[in-house]
A and B are shown apart, each in its own frame.
Chain A
Amino acid sequence: MNPSPIDSPHLPQEPERRSFLTRFGAICFGTVVTVFPFAAGWGVVTSPVRRGQDDSQSGGEDEGFVRICPLDAIPADGNPHAFVVIADVVDAWTRAVNQRIGEVFLTRSEKDGKPQVIAFTAACPHLGCAVEFAGPRDRYECPCHASAYAKDGTKLFGPSLRGLDQLDVVLKGDDGAQEVWVRFERFRAGIAAGEPIA
């Protein structure tokens, strides 16, 4: 059997007390210098956990609302229509203006003579693929895992645990030329509750 790595029998031993201090010091200092480079990089590696989303799309004077289109651009046929969301994007060090950051489905209707708009994000709440509105079957369908949702966003069938995620809408401007603004958010996929990603 090999000798235990703690003893070295064939050499003269130091006095026990000194030997203990030497070992203790060697282990302590050895540990410090081994941990050192990891410690120096710890803050950088874990920084994405500690910081929320950048101040790019949320906050500001519009409280996260993004202009989508004039109200008249949505056909008043009661069917969902896809619109591109355009906003300034901050990606780490780059700030790019007027970028396509996502897609929403807008449905226009009227209530008491006033226009109403319902907005769903196109991201499937199952695992984030982009859903499409299948006109002939009158429902939203996800091309990835075959989840389907009714026009009002409720889940019809498929692996998704919840219905489509609805977005807040405001109509801005005068009666004649109203604009549709949507608070564009992303939601955690794969869970039963619609939970915005901060």
Chain B
Amino acid sequence: MSRFVEWLDQRTGIRGAMHAALYEHIPGGARWRYVWGSTLSFCFFVQVVTGLILWACYSPSAQTAWESVFYLQHHVPGGWLLRGVHHFTAHAMVVLLAVHFVQVVIDGAYRAPREINFWIGLILMQIVLALSLTGYLLPWDQKGYWATKVATNMLALVPVIGEPLQRIVVGGSEYGHHTLTRFFALHAGVLPVLLTVFLALHVVLFRRHGLTIRDPNRAPDITFWPQQFLRDAVACLAVMIVVLVLVLRNYPSAEPGVPLGGQLGAELGAPANPAESYAAARPEVYFLFLFQLLKYLEHFSPIVGAVIVPGLVMLSLFLMPFIGRWQLGHRFNVVWTFALLIGAGVLTALAWYSDHSGRTPESQHYLEAVAAAHAQAERAVILANAPTGIPPTGALALLRSDPKTQGPRLFRQHCSACHSHAPIEGSSDPSQAIVAEKPSAPNLWGIGTRDWVRGILDPKQIAGPHYFGNTSHKEGEMVAFVNDTIGSQLEELKGDELAALKKKIEDVTFALADEAGLIREMAADIPARVVAGRVVIVNSETGFSCIDCHKFRDQGELGLAPDLTGYASREWLMAFISNPEHERFYPETNDRMPAFAANAENPLANRLSAEDLALLVDWLRGEWYEPTAPNPPAN
């Protein structure tokens, strides 16, 4: 071994290099306050290693960025760990930057002859912040997409060069493939190389000047190895543990059987959607102070908060070596540093509080948007994990063709001025229940189900607010039939006759709900009841003779009342919404309901496209993909 070292040393001088690296002279003994630079170098090392491995898993394009990150997070073993470590080490790096900076200012390490190294440190700070900003966009989720848009719009505010610079960074005027390829090139290529170069200069100059020692007689002199090295290693270990705790913080409440990727590590929002603004968009937490500052400077041009104020602050930092020459300059620098940090801290806290207090309408709006964003992110993962998988057009297409996602949006847009869609009793998924402010039409919750039909045939309900109560049909013949014929019989009949009537109503309920063909209402004992119910519907002697007004299958006529054939089926609902005044529905007695897609020859003239109509109807019928197990296990 020693012969090999000898051989190598003669050719490389490795012993001298090792000696120079490890036996730096430290007057006054090892101290914890010297560890911060090392922890930052450690973070950068972690980011390079994990970043290169992430690179091997990432595909920068608008149709594959979210998808590849989703796959890494949810399907590649240990992917969530890798991603989580990279994400939270980035956070740790920003915090350590601040600590390192404060340490340098307090110790006056910016003074001659260390001015240039101080400036290099400030440049390194800018590079790290730029790395953080560019990395935020790469998963191409709603959060990163909308937050980064704000950042690049701020870039455009810079006088003269701003706009071309924005175009160069974004790769055009709109976000797309080239935004990702350019941000990726910046994040994984340009910025790390710059960081490496400046870090090397920083270290070389640091070794040239040595540590800034305040009290050389504090303790006997030592060398870097092993005493200071041990302190540095322990500090790095502490950073590592903090990062791991952040990655694993949800582990105690993790559900067994559910893949850890969905529960641990860095968050992944829903895929970026340019057509759906994102009210929960916020920058990373360490940029929140700037975000809050922009809110306070509302009376000024946005250039003040976005460019001028941060520019002046940076200038004041660059000038510190000069200010420090004056008698009180050093104290001023220290006070100014703490003032800036406290100011940023207060602004961050204010931003956090105004979002999370829940006391203002804005805060409630924000919290709702966050909840909706989480729900949509979860839904995106469920759909991506479905057997149909992610199509080559990307995961956004899954959400766009998902009734559960699109239904509430379409219903709010087109229907909820008159209709509610909310359970009469009990609670439900809040994203699916929509209450109209002034309901003037039936509550469409569970349309076509047996409960829905039971309500129509119930004298207590049919003229109530959830059915015809707010419409002109309140005075119509159906309400009269249910109240007069069924209602009076229910009151008069007793014993077996009453039981027989109730059975007839129940049979009709089964027969009509069967026309809807809802998958979740299928059961084994139904056919006999359906057959019995169909007899009640058509029979005028022993039944209700519904066909006096309605058409049902091959009996009765169209024109007086809606066709009961295929009642509330997918086709029936689509036809009804398309044109309620069609002869199948209410040719004479339609009450205010508009035709949403009556123009078959010119679909562009319709209020609802065929796709949206189908999504709306599938949503009303509650037919969308849900996994049978919570989530398929990761391979």
Contact = CB atoms under 8 A, between A and B. Distances in A.
Interface in A139-174: none
B570 to A, nearest CB: 23
A2 B45 CA distance: 30
Contacts of B85: 37, 40
B386 to A, nearest CB: 10
A2 B50 contact: no
A162 to B, nearest CB: 32
Interface string B548-591: 00000000000000000000000000000000000000000000
A8 B49 contact: no
Contacts of A22: 226-227, 230
Nearest to A20: B226
A41 B81 CA distance: 8
Contact of B233 (A3, A11, A25): A25
Given A5-B18, A11-B221, A94-B390, A26 B233 contact: yes
Contacts of A23: 226
Contacts of B45: 34, 37
Contacts of A43: 76-79, 81-82
Interface residues of A, number: 38
Contact of B46 (A14, A25, A30, A36): A36
Interface in A82-98: 90, 92-96
Q: Is the interface of B mostly helix, strand, loop or mixed?
A: helix
B390 A95 contact: yes
B70 interface: yes
A33 B240 contact: yes
Contacts of A2: 9, 15-16, 19
B23 A41 contact: no
A41 B68 contact: no
Nearest to A55: B635
A92 B9 CA distance: 48
Given A45-B56, A96-B391, A51 B635 contact: yes
A26 B230 contact: yes
A26 B226 contact: yes
B76 A5 contact: no
B86 to A, nearest CB: 8
Interface in B39-80: 42, 45-46, 48-50, 53-54, 56-57, 64, 67-68, 70-72, 75-79
Contacts of A38: 49
B236 interface: yes
Interface in A12-26: 12, 14, 19, 22-23, 25-26
A40 B233 contact: no
A33 B19 contact: no
Interface residues of B, number: 52
Contacts of A51: 77, 635
Contacts of B234: 25, 29
A43 B48 CA distance: 17
A44 B227 contact: no
B18 A44 contact: no
A41 B56 CA distance: 11
Given A44-B82, A93-B384, A36 B240 contact: yes
Interface in B385-408: 388-392
B82 A5 contact: no
Given A33-B42, A44-B72, A44-B78, A5 B230 contact: no
A30 B233 contact: yes
Contacts of A14: 227
A92 B71 contact: yes
A40 B49 CA distance: 9
A31 to B, nearest CB: 9
B630 interface: no
Given A19-B226, A22-B226, A33 B389 contact: no
Contacts of A36: 46, 240
B222 interface: yes
Nearest to B18: A5
Contacts of A93: 64, 67-68, 70-71, 75, 384, 389-390
7 contacts: A11-B223, A26-B226, A26-B233, A33-B42, A40-B50, A43-B81, A51-B635
Interface of A: 2-5, 8, 11-12, 14, 19, 22-23, 25-26, 29-30, 32-34, 36-38, 40-45, 47, 50-51, 54-55, 90, 92-96
Q: Which A-B residue pairs are the 8 nearest by beta carbons?
A: A43-B78, A95-B389, A37-B49, A41-B53, A29-B233, A93-B71, A26-B230, A33-B236
Given A2-B9, A12-B220, A37-B46, 17 more contacts: A5-B19, A8-B225, A11-B223, A22-B227, A26-B233, A37-B49, A40-B50, A41-B50, A42-B78, A44-B76, A47-B76, A55-B635, A93-B64, A93-B68, A93-B75, A94-B390, A94-B391
